[in-house]
């Protein structure tokens, strides 16, 4: 899937085929804060738990969680932000673990890289992040993924061993490549995307589910959505 497909963004309005946006080598695609706020609206996240986003990029997720009153921090393979919530550069699927990954109680909320490491395609990459998160979290693991991630022979085992709850976003998020947001411009970068996303949530404190449960997250209330559009688009 190309960056343009993921983000729904084209380089210049009216010149759809003029320039192709290349895939980011580390899959740095930035979601908007409302995506995490919608998670907080529908899933009961525990107040006494620490939250880590181990693939935090701009720290969008830790910031949204902090704004909702949770104690949240981020790490990433690369420092992409000066946010005070960013703790360390760290390879989440590497051999070493950070001290904060041993914090208990711990929940993980992340938008992991989908298939790319250093520009190379890695099969089952998102699953590696999910399995690592399931191994170290004590409470919730919430992972933002394209809906198509559910249909896979390779992941049947994961879904059978750990049946999740699935929260489908009925509003498509934009997810522009982080290093192209400036070039694309705010309006184009944050244009609604073309890919359907969901939060896949595991509750490690709850009794194991026998099968996955599916919920739909309704679109944001119209007024809130319109308020974020430029005036001429909202008219």
Ligand X SMILES: C[S@@+](CC[C@H](N)C(=O)[O-])C[C@H]1O[C@@H](n2cnc3c(N)ncnc32)[C@H](O)[C@@H]1O
Beta-bridged to residue 217, according to DSSP, are: 169
- Whole-number Å distance between alpha carbons of 102 and 52: 11
Contact 27/207 with Cβ under 8 angstroms? no
Nearer to ligand X, 8 or 178 (CB): 178
**Stretch touching ligand X by CB under 6 A, among 22-30, 133-141, 165-173, 221-229:** 22-30
CA–CA distance, 65 with 140 (Å, rounded to integer): 14
Q: Which is nearer to ligand X, 38 or 77 (CB)?
A: 77
**Closer CB to ligand X, 30 or 49, in the complex:** 30
DSSP-assigned letter for residue 15: -
Q: Which of residues 26-45 bind ligand X (CB under 6 A)?
A: 26-31
Instruction: Give min distance, CB of 178 to ligand X, in A.
Output: 5
Residue 38, class by beta-carbon neighbours within 10 Å (0-12 exposed, 13-18 middle, 19+ buried)? buried
For residue 225, count other CB atoms closer than 10 A to its CB.
14
User: How is the chain split among helix, strand and coil, in percent rounded to 5?
Assistant: 30, 20, 50
Q: Which of residues 76-135 bind ligand X (CB under 6 A)?
A: 76-78, 80, 91-93, 111, 113, 117
Q: Kindly tell me which of 2 and 160 has the beta carbon lying closer to ligand X.
A: 2
60 binds ligand X (CB under 6 A): yes
Report in angstroms how near the CB of residue 211 gets to ligand X at its nearest.
28
Stretch that binds ligand X, among 56-64, 65-73, 132-140, 213-221 (CB under 6 A): 56-64
Select 13 or 186, whichever has its Cβ closest to ligand X. 186
| Closest residue to ligand X, based on beta-carbon distance | 57
List 7, 10, 55, 107, residue binding ligand X (CB under 6 A):
55
Judged by DSSP in three states, 24 sits in coil
Q: Given CA atoms 209, 94, 106, 40 in this order, what sign does their dihedral have?
A: negative
Q: Which residues bind ligand X (CB under 6 A)?
A: 26-31, 54-58, 60-61, 76-78, 80, 91-93, 111, 113, 117, 178
């Amino acid at each position: 899937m190309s960056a343009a497909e993921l983000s729904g963004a084209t380089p210049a309005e009216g010149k759809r085929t003029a320039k192709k946006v290349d895939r980011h080598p580390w899959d740095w695609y930035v979601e908007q804060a409302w995506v995490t706020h919608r998670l907080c609206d529908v899933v009961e996240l525990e107040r006494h738990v620490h939250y880590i986003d181990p693939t935090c990029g701009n720290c969008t997720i830790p910031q949204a969680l902090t704004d909702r009153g949770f104690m949240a921090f981020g790490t990433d393979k690369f420092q992409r932000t000066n946010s005070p919530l960013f703790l360390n550069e760290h390879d989440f699927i590497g051999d070493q673990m950070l001290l904060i990954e041993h914090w208990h109680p711990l929940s993980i909320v992340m938008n992991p890289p989908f298939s790319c490491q250093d520009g190379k395609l890695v099969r089952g990459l998102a699953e590696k992040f999910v399995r690592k998160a399931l191994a170290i979290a004590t409470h919730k693991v919430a992972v933002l993924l394209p809906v198509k991630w559910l249909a896979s022979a390779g992941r049947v085992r994961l879904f059978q061993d750990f049946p999740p709850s699935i929260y489908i976003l009925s509003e498509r998020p934009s997810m522009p490549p982080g290093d192209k947001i400036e070039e694309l411009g705010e309006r184009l970068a944050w244009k609604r995307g073309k890919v359907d996303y969901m939060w896949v949530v595991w509750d490690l404190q709850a009794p194991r589910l026998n099968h996955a449960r599916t919920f739909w997250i309704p679109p944001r209330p119209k007024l809130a959505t319109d308020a974020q559009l430029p005036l001429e688009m909202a008219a």
